[in-house]
């Protein structure tokens, strides 16, 4: 019998499995409670149950006030490193707490209170973190919208969340250009049926925005004039935030995160998974608009008393392929978290690692990857260059923290490139077929989590519990359907191979192909279309459009394709990375008229697809196969 490569992990996972409530009761001691929870888990609450019912706390106080009270107010809490502005700003725990308390007072003066929603549409600046924490301080519910989204996407989130206030900035900064945020915000409010009572705009030096009298307020002026607001205790089961993620229907999915389970899960994860604690420097190279930014730029590190790095820049081009290594070296980062997309971009520019070799990375103990599966060559490449553990781990917006990974506090597993590791204590996983039956070890299927989900997981969708039930719980009773496909081998290692639905993963950003199809179909020359994922050397996946034109259209196809690319950029935003489309004569369909998207995805992946028995015209499979085969060498 082979020795257990990580007995600490095995012991911890078994301890959780044998007594889940005792495991999470111990973890809850990492959080300061105004009122201790009456029950660790209540299965009768919500869609699948809720954690720490009867407990009361304030997440902002746990992130800031308690560290100041413990005598660590002078420790850096947030290091803002802006390659775009060429400067670094350090906020101590005392400074961040004071600014957050004042901005909470400013929001309260605008009428924001417990349970009210605030949409935050901001670039990667400290004021975005302050706005999030200020909402948490008031017991208000924030919904951060990624700054790369265009007006229609922002409008849909404003309409669904119905915020009392929107907090934004005059602009974002990208290499070689300034992106005006205020015109997009104004356009989004015009499109939305819901109108916020007020907007708060942070004016950046690069571009000032015109403010609308009566509705718009200057962020800095409001903060300076406000009185500090104390933390408001809220129920552990009260929502902390809504984070919208792409859905397959017209309405965006508003993933809800509660206060108690979220605080416990993230505080526990910082030590168990990343091996960091109070005083350590931690850097998640992400954006506050995504779940990684919520969990591991803002809440997780601050709950644990770490120093969190917030980087405004790119992995390459700001100024070179050594940008990440410069940040890690300069700030003595102990644990770093990024997406495989970033590493592929760096590898493309600096395959020999010459830029990396310029920097002293002696403080860096481990690199963590998530957002998409890391291809083994990239994982091996960076591990050899760094000479440090490289840990691929898998989780989702819905779970809020790691489903599978490696666990530094429990003993890391030997590297297994291509695998996302083993389930975290809190998760029991299985690979199921479409009927919900387990498949043999090593075989592909749908990855599922046995209910109940652990603390930190979404208890529901915003004002849509039935939508949550349909999307995640209805197919396999007793299980949460992740929507990801993959395998679990005989040793328990999990490999995630991709989405099983029509959500495309572009550089770690989950985007709906259905939403892109809706945009393409709005073009006056397009009769029908399909958007599928194709392999991309840098982003992992990229969208590719297949378009059938209306009869009688005599324009140049290349001109139409350029218009379609521009249309997606305008209505969804550059984050969609939609750059390719191909005009085709027809799309493969069932006899009932449904486009065979599953077959298209398999063809795009290079598989030989058998003729489905329900297909209307078998010749379409051969035509599409030839079309995609013709583009594949260029893409690779």
pLDDT at 250: 59
Kindly list the distances between the CA atom of residue 114 and the CA atoms of 104, 118, 138, 233, in Å, as whole numbers in the listed order. 11, 11, 6, 9
pLDDT at 608: 80
**Residue 261 in tokens:** 């389970």
Pairing verdict, β 177-180 and 171-174: antiparallel
3-state SS class at 474: coil
CA torsion sign, 561 to 566 to 571 to 574? positive
Give the chain's residues under pLDDT 70. Answer: 1-2, 246-250, 501-503, 510, 590-594, 612-616, 631-636
For the stretch 412-450, pLDDT in tens is: 999 899 899 999 999 999 999 989 999 999 988 899 999
Residue with tokens 């605080």: 263
Distance CA 381, CA 23 (A): 37
- Cβ–Cβ under 8 Å, residues 90 and 294: no
Pairing verdict, β 239-245 and 253-258: antiparallel
pLDDT at 376: 86
pTM: 0.87
pLDDT at 8: 94
pLDDT at 59: 99
Q: Which domains does the chain have, with CATH numbers?
A: 7-313+393-484 (3.40.50.12780), 507-635 (3.30.300.30)
pLDDT at 248: 47
Percent of the chain with pLDDT over 70: 96
- Cβ–Cβ under 8 Å, residues 636 and 537: yes
Pairing verdict, β 404-405 and 422-423: antiparallel
pLDDT at 1: 40
């Amino acid at each position: 019998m082979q020795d257990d490569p990580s007995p600490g992990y095995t012991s911890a996972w078994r301890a959780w499995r044998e007594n889940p409530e005792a495991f999470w009761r111990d973890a809850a001691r990492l959080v300061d409670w105004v009122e201790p929870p009456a029950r660790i888990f209540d299965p009768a609450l919500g869609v699948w149950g809720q954690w720490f019912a009867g407990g009361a706390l304030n997440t902002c106080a746990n992130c800031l006030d308690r560290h100041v009270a413990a005598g660590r107010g002078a420790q850096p809490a947030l290091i803002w490193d802006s390659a775009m502005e060429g400067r670094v700003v350090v906020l101590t725990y005392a400074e961040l707490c004071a600014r957050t308390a004042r901005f909470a007072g400013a929001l309260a003066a605008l009428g924001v209170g417990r349970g009210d929603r605030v949409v935050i549409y901001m670039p990667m600046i400290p004021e975005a973190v302050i706005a999030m924490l200020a909402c948490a301080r008031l017991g208000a519910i924030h919904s951060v919208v990624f700054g790369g989204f265009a007006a229609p996407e922002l409008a849909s989130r404003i309409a669904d969340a119905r915020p009392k206030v929107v907090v934004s900035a005059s602009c974002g900064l990208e290499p070689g250009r300034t992106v005006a945020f205020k015109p997009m915000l104004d356009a989004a409010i015009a499109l939305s049926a819901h109108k916020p009572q007020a907007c708060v705009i942070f004016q950046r030096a690069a571009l000032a925005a015109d403010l609308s009298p009566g509705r718009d307020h200057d962020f800095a002026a409001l903060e300076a004039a406000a009185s500090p607001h104390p933390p408001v205790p809220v129920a552990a089961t009260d929502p902390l935030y809504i984070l919208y993620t792409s859905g397959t229907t017209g309405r965006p999915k508003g993933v809800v995160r509660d206060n108690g389970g979220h605080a416990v899960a993230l505080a526990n994860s910082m030590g168990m998974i990343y091996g960091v604690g109070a005083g350590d420097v931690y850097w998640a190279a992400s954006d506050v608009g995504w779940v990684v930014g919520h969990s591991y730029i803002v809440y997780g590190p601050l709950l644990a008393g770490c120093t969190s790095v917030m980087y405004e820049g790119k992995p390459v081009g700001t100024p070179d392929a050594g940008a990440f290594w410069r940040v890690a070296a300069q700030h003595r980062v102990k644990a770093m978290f990024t997406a495989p997309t970033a590493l592929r971009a760096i590898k493309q520019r600096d395959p020999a690692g010459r830029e990396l070799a310029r920097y002293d990375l002696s403080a860096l103990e481990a690199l963590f990857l998530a957002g998409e599966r890391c291809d083994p060559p990239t994982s091996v490449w960076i591990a050899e260059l760094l000479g440090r553990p490289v840990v691929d781990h898998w989780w989702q917006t819905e779970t809020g923290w790691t489903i599978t990974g490696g666990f530094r506090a429990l003993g890391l597993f030997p590297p297994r490139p291509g695998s996302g590791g083993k389930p975290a204590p809190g998760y029991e996983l299985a690979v199921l077929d479409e009927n919900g039956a387990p498949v043999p070890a090593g075989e592909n299927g749908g990855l599922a989590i046995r209910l109940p989900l652990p603390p930190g997981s979404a208890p529901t969708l915003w004002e849509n519990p039935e939508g949550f039930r349909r999307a995640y719980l209805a197919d396999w009773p007793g299980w949460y359907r992740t929507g990801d496909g993959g395998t679990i081998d005989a040793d328990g290692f999990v490999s995630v191979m991709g989405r099983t639905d029509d959500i495309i993963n572009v550089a770690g950003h989950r985007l709906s192909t259905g939403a892109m199809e809706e945009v393409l179909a709005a073009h006056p020359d397009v009769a029908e279309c399909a958007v599928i994922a194709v392999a991309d050397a840098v982003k992992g996946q990229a969208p590719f459009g297949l378009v059938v034109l209306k009869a009688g259209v005599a324009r140049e196809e290349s001109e139409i394709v350029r218009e379609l690319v521009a249309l997606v950029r305008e209505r969804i935003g550059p984050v969609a990375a939609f750059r390719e489309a191909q005009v085709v004569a027809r799309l493969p369909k069932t006899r009932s008229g449904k486009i065979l998207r599953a077959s298209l995805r398999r063809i795009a992946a290079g598989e030989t697809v058998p003729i489905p028995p329900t297909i209307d015209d078998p010749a379409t499979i051969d035509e599409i196969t030839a079309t995609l085969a013709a583009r594949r060498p260029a893409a690779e």
